[in-house]
Each structure stands twice: as C-alpha cells, then as structure tokens.
C-alpha cells in the first residue's frame, strides 16, 4: 500500500519530465538529423529560423498544427483516428523502464532517476515495442488506399521478422546480466560494457532495431519511391505529425535502450560520486547512437524486400540463436572452472560465428552474379 502522497507526486513529476523530454527530444532530433544529413551531403541544413536554425522544429510544429486535416471519404473513420494514437503511445511508454541514473538527493528526499524498476524490464520493452506495429498496420488498413495498405502490410511482416532476432539477441544480455531488470543490467556492466563481451549481439540488436523503427536501410514500409510514403500516405496535419513523432521518439528510446543493454547505460567516470552525471552520460550515449542511425541513413541504400526477409530469417535469426548458445556455454565454463578468463571465449566465439553469415552472404551474392553473367 502506498500511503505516502508525495510518492504519487514524485511519480507524476517524473512521468511529466520524461514525456516533455521525449517531446522536446523528438523536435530537436529532427533538427539534429537534418543538420547531420545535410553536412554529410555537403550542405548546410536548416539555418534560417532563429540562431543556427534552432527554431526550425517550432516552425515545423506550427505549420503541421495549422495544416488542414483530411480524412479519406471511404476511410474507416474511427480506426483512422485511433491509429496515430496507438503508434505514439507505446513509443512514449517504453521510456518508463529506461534508467537514467542512480538515486539523487533532491529536497531532502531520495529520488531514483528512473520511473520504474520492474523486474521484467526487458520483457516490458519487447512487449511494448511489439504493440507499435498495430498502429501502423491499422493506419494502412483504415486509410482504404492501396499504397497505405501495402506499406502497412510490409511493415507488419518486417517488424514481426526482426522482432524475433531482436528478442533473441537480448537473451545474451539477460544471461550476462543475470537479471531482466534494466537497472540490474546496467549495474552489472560496471567495469566492462556488454558490447565488449557480446559484440555480435550488439550488432544484431542494432540492425534489428533499425528495422523495428523503420529506419533506412530498412524503411520499406515508407519507401517514398515505391509506395508514396506507405502507411501514412493518407494522413496530413497533426495526425501525420503523430506518426512522425512516434518514429523519432522510438529512435530516441531505442538508442537509450541500446545504451542500457550494451553501452553501460548511465555508467561513466565519476558517476559513483555524482549521481547527477548519470543522465549526462545517458544523453551523450544516446546522442552518439543517434548519430549512428543518421549516418547509416545517409550512406546505405534501401534493401530489396525479398532480401530483407532473407537476411532477417536466414542470417540474423540463426546467428542470434548461435550467440545465445555461445554466451551460455561461456558463462557455464567460467562458473564450472572458476576461471573468469573463460568469459573471453564469448566474444571470440561470437565473432567467429558472426563471420559465417558474412561469408555465406558473400558466396550467395557471387553465385547470383554468376547466374546473371
């Protein structure tokens, strides 16, 4: 029983701060992405609205809010209205379990720098991430338009395929952390980040999350050239802005989760003495990981759809199963022999396992090119 009303207040304030941080983060992520993309294309990017174009997100928001909203005449009105909401809510809700730091003393009160430390945080993340696909497929279906429909279906198929390797690639993290709580996983990485123990898992997780948030090179559901923007083709104004918001918030949240699982979360030099450094390290890690996503978008072309499926099912899923096996074996060996050096067999064996699909893909591509010639 919670009798302390200040605890309710604390939760409320933390939730509000988190939501506003995500909304502001979304706005400035679009700015960050546009500037970074522009620099990679030797352009300048938005620099007109305000100093260095910093008010550009505000201008975009004002424009989107005042834009006319259209609902197609033959759309299923209720679902059409509901779909953007179903997409946005999970992207915010995931952030509840992400730890941003240990506890700090604020106003004579011990305040944890996370909203909830539930003991199945990883499962929670997986479950909520999977819900987001409903909004997309419902948007595609309710629009009553063939492009939107195709986009929605593609995204469903893609998300379900990559959800699998996403989930399996998290099992090594759970094994290494010996817990499903995000806070415990972060604390276990004190000294050594899991990305060094399980580099292949980190790569698989990263590829799968790119597919999960529909980012390039996995942006098949919103392929502009083929599907005229896919599932949100019929949306305009604020409803479109909600889809946009969901995508970018998911990017932020997933980068935060990647930081937690593989890059030591809020850990960093000096965080033991000054717990308030935790959110700062978290921010830096999210910033760098987001740069990775933008970088990939600026560089790699989009997958062909059948190859996307082949890659997901024939390369990522077996490989992630293999690294689960390798990680479990490594931990068992280290425990049985009482020699922690056996832990280093995990990254070595994983990299060797990771080379197998690389070589196989190369051979498959070469076979294809012989067939063509």
Q: To the nearest whole angstrom, how small is the minimum distance from the Cβ of residue 362 to other proteins?
A: 5
Check residue 193 and give left, alpha or beta (phi > 0: left; psi -120 to 50: alpha). Answer: beta
**Separation CA 177–CA 179 (nearest Å):** 5
Distance CA 268, CA 257 (A): 16
Tracing tokens 């259209």 back to the chain, one arrives at: 70
Smallest gap from Cβ 43 to other proteins, in A, equals 5
Q: Interface with other proteins by CB under 8 A: which residues?
A: 36, 38-44, 295-296, 298-300, 355, 358-359, 361-363, 365
Question: Closest approach of Cβ 358 to other proteins, in Å?
Answer: 5
CA–CA separation, 358 and 316 (whole Å): 11
Opening angle at CA 364, ends 359 and 368, nearest 5: 145
**Alpha-carbon gap, residue 117 to 14, rounded angstroms:** 13
> Which of 40/49 has CB closer to other proteins?
40
The nearer residue to other proteins, 36 or 171, going by C-beta atoms, is 36
The nearer residue to other proteins, 59 or 118, going by C-beta atoms, is 59
User: What does the buried/exposed string (b/e) look like for 100-137 if buried means 16 or more CB atoms within 10 Å of the residue's CB?
Assistant: bbbeeeeeeeeebbbbbeeeebbebbeebbbebbebbb
Write out the two tokens for 243: 């889809």
Specify whether the CB–CB gap between 182 and 338 falls below 8 A.
Answer: no
Q: How many CA atoms lie within 13 A of 70 on its CB side?
A: 9
At residue 142, what are phi and psi to the nearest 5 degrees? Answer: -70, -20
Nearer to other proteins, 36 or 197 (CB): 36
If the CB atoms of residues 16 and 365 are measured against other proteins, the closer one turns out to be 365
Q: Name the minimum Å distance from CB 44 to other proteins.
A: 4
Of the pair 1, 359, the CB lying nearest other proteins is at 359
> Measured from the CB of residue 303, what is the shortest distance to other proteins in angstroms?
12
Helix or strand or coil: residue 113? coil
Residue placing its CB nearer to other proteins in the complex, 8 or 362: 362
Least distance in angstroms from the C-beta of 207 to other proteins: 11
Q: Are 299 and 118 in contact (CB under 8 A)?
A: no
3 state SS of 36: helix
Cα separation, 112 vs 12, whole angstroms: 13
- Closest CB to other proteins among 19 and 40? 40
């Amino acid at each position: 029983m919670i009798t302390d009303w200040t605890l309710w207040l604390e939760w409320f304030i933390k939730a509000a701060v988190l939501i506003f941080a995500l909304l502001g983060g979304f706005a400035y992520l679009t700015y960050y992405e546009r500037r970074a993309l522009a620099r990679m294309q030797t352009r300048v990017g938005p620099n007109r609205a305000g100093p260095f174009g910093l008010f550009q997100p505000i201008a975009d928001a004002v424009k989107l809010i005042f834009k006319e909203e259209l609902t197609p005449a033959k759309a299923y009105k209720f679902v059409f209205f509901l779909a953007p909401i179903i997409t946005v809510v999970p992207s915010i809700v995931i952030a509840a379990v992400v730890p941003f730091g240990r506890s700090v003393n604020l106003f004579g009160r011990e305040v944890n720098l996370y909203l909830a430390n539930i003991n199945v945080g990883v499962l929670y993340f997986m479950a909520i991430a999977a819900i987001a696909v409903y909004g997309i497929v419902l948007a595609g279906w309710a629009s009553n338009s063939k492009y939107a429909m195709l986009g929605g279906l593609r995204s469903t198929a893609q998300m379900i395929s990559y959800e699998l390797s996403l989930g399996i690639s998290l099992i090594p993290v759970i094994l290494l952390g010996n817990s499903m709580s995000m806070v415990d996983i972060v604390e276990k990485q004190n000294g050594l980040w899991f990305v060094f123990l399980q580099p292949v898992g980190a790569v698989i997780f990263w590829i799968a999350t790119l597919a999960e948030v529909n980012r390039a090179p996995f942006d098949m559901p919103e392929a502009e050239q083929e599907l005229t923007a896919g599932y949100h083709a019929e949306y305009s104004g604020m409803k479109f802005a909600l889809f946009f918001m969901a995508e970018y918030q998911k990017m932020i949240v997933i980068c935060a989760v990647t930081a937690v699982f593989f890059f030591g979360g809020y850990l960093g030099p000096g965080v033991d003495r000054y717990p308030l450094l935790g959110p700062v390290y978290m921010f830096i890690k999210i910033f760098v990981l987001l740069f990775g996503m933008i970088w990939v978008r600026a560089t790699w072309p989009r997958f062909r759809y059948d190859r996307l499926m082949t890659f997901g099912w024939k390369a990522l899923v077996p490989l992630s199963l293999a690294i689960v096996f390798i990680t479990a074996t490594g931990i068992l060996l280290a425990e049985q022999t009482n020699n922690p050096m056996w832990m280093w067999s995990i990254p070595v064996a994983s990299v060797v396992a990771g080379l197998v699909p690389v070589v196989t893909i190369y051979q498959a591509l070469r076979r294809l090119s012989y067939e063509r010639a």
